[in-house]
Amino acid sequence: MPFQPEPPIPHGQAARTAIVLCNLGTPDEATAPALRRYLAEFLGDHRVVEIPKPIWWLILHGIILRTRPAKSAAKYASVWMPEGSPLKVWTDRQATLLRGYLGERGHQVTVRYAMRYGNPSIPAVLDELKAQGVTRVLIVPAYPQYSGTTTASVFDAVATWGLKVRHLPELRFINRYHDDAGYIEALARKVRAHWMHHGQADQLVMSFHGVPERTLRLGDPYHCECQKTARLLAEKLGLAKDRYKLTFQSRFGKAKWLEPYTEPTLIALARQGVKSVDVVCPGFTSDCLETLEEINMEAREAFLHAGGQAFNYIDCLNDSPDWMRALTELTERHLQGWPTRHADDPMALKESRERALALGAKD
């Protein structure tokens, strides 16, 4: 494969830093053809479905992509926002705000969002940043808990992009922030604000996206990191063990996934006489199909149908100021050693060039 053409070598050009906030991805429209494109890319990723490729290709293209796109398109249509898919709308806002929050603290960084599947794609965003002269990139997956199915797949996309690039930018990659104090505090404040306005339900259900159970046996730390997030959040909220539950949602396919499953747990709670539940999804940093439709519509319906009386969904972190502050501090820590406060400042640049020349560098 030939390398991409490079711009002329930039003698004396200051380092320029960018942050790329990478989320899962979402279809461009809530239509069956858009869903087919998106699901083919997403479910065709061997990180996501680990069945041997030729067998899975037949199942995916022969069965799943013939039936699922239309059904999923109807679900997406039920949560679509005027500006687009919720996942994209929130991720876009987070990137814009992060740029502002970092700017307030004197950092001059470009911030973009990218999607692992769909648009704007990770390679397209990295190409654009490189064309702008960016020389350092911090990749921030939108997943607090590390999983091979999601976090590592973002890394694959970055590494694959790098295969065609001769002059790579310096790259950093955040693996996890499931126990980050700012993230836990932002979650706790969301829950407390909800309690202030609506009162506290009998149970708090913390629902995380599931993964196949075998990934845990094969060494994926995702399950442990979800447990830790839930424990820290409960501690922060002062919740006793019998007042909250950790569950896993969004099971896909027939294999066993991490348990307990969210919807059956909600049904069991209702049947045991639990009248009210608050449900929060700490593993999702943005509201999306899985929270707005699967939890706030389907799971709500199941709980109420089984005899529950009040189902209160607590929004994801989205663009909450507490989360934006946490994300700012998290990225600030990972930018250390990259002088983002000076990069575009002509005086600082002149000084650093003079210092470099004094140390014997050639201009």
Ligand X SMILES: C=CC1=C(C)c2cc3[nH]c(cc4nc(cc5[nH]c(cc1n2)c(C)c5CCC(=O)O)C(CCC(=O)O)=C4C)c(C)c3C=C
Interacting residues with Fe ion (CB under 5 A): 250, 290, 294
Partner in contact with 151, chosen from ligand X, Fe ion, none, beta carbon below 5 to 8 Å by kind: none
Closest distance to ligand X from the beta carbon of 114 (Å): 14
Residue 85 makes contact with ligand X by CB under 6 A: yes
Residue 316 makes contact with ligand X by CB under 6 A: no
Binding part of the chain for ligand X, among 153-161, 204-212, 225-233, 304-312 by CB under 6 A, reads 204-212
Binding part of the chain for ligand X, among 285-293, 306-314, 324-332, 334-342 by CB under 6 A, reads 285-293
Closest distance to Fe ion from the beta carbon of 191 (Å): 23
The verdict on whether residue 209 carries a ligand-binding annotation is yes
Find the binder of ligand X among 288, 295, 316, 317 (CB under 6 A).
Answer: 288
Partner in contact with 294, chosen from ligand X, Fe ion, none, beta carbon below 5 to 8 Å by kind: Fe ion
Residue 147 makes contact with ligand X by CB under 6 A: yes
Residue 211 makes contact with ligand X by CB under 6 A: yes
Residue 296 makes contact with ligand X by CB under 6 A: no
- The interface mask with ligand X, positions 15-44, x = CB under 6 A, is ---------x-x------------x-----
Residue 250 makes contact with ligand X by CB under 6 A: yes
Task: Let me know: does 84 contact 113? Beta carbons within 8 Å.
Answer: no
Find the binder of ligand X among 283, 311, 318, 324 (CB under 6 A).
Answer: 283
Partner in contact with 148, chosen from ligand X, Fe ion, none, beta carbon below 5 to 8 Å by kind: none
Point out which residues bind ligand X (CB under 6 A).
24, 26, 39, 48-49, 68, 72, 85, 87, 143, 147, 149-150, 209, 211-212, 250, 252, 283-284, 288-290
